[in-house]
Amino acid sequence: MNQIARPSCLRQTRFATLSVPLGHRYFASSPVTRACESNQSTESSCQNTKSSPPASSLSTFSKAFWACRSTWRRAGINTLRCLIGCTVGDFSALWTLQSYYPELGMNTIMLASMASGITTSIILETVLLRRGADQLSWTMAARTAMGMSMVSMLAMEVAENAVDYHLTGGVVAFQDPKFWAAAVLSIGAGYLAPLPYNYLRLRKYGKACH
């Protein structure tokens, strides 16, 4: 995975012995994030223009806070990575359980599919953190992935499954064009639901762990 430039609107944090691209995601219990959190008082350089105020001084209800395009791009990439993992695990489990264990009932199948989606997302993130630009050890990559924000992942799974259930009743029917149309809409909902939250964490706290 190519190194992604640090968004100009994100908080710059200096480390005494370790320099880490803030564009990548770390969880609260990792050494990297603890270092970030200990430097939360560092003056923010998050500016859209030379004359704009730092992000820390902006209200989350102000238009300027939500106007940083580089932060939207970074949040979008992070959300897309999570979406891929969640969608693969979710739909795979949905199809498998409906095909081989229909007696479980749709409610149980949907809940199991959501759990599967979160698990797959964690596995994918572990591989990306180990093999990508971060080059973390397998142990640290797994811990980081498991520490991703559950708020973001749950919002994604709930939105995706709610739309799918509303449109198809949760039934996987590969031969039906309506199923594919519903899948596109549900995936779109799963992407959009946590996106503002991920942007807020990046913009306000310099955290990209979702």
Q: Residue 46 pLDDT > 80, yes or no?
A: no
pLDDT above 70 as % of the chain = 71
| Per-residue pLDDT tens digits for 83-128 | 999 999 999 999 999 999 999 999 999 999 999 999 999 998 889 8
DSSP letter string, 10-77: SPP---SS----TTS---TTSHHHHHHHHTTTSPP---SSTTSPPGGGS-TTSTTTT--HHHHHHHHH
Q: Residue 168 pLDDT > 90, yes or no?
A: yes
Q: Residue 50 pLDDT > 70, yes or no?
A: no
Rounded to an integer, the average pLDDT of 158-166 is: 95
Instruction: Please give the backbone phi and psi of residue 53, each rounded to the nearest 5 degrees, phi first.
Output: -75, 160
Q: What is the pLDDT of residue 148?
A: 74
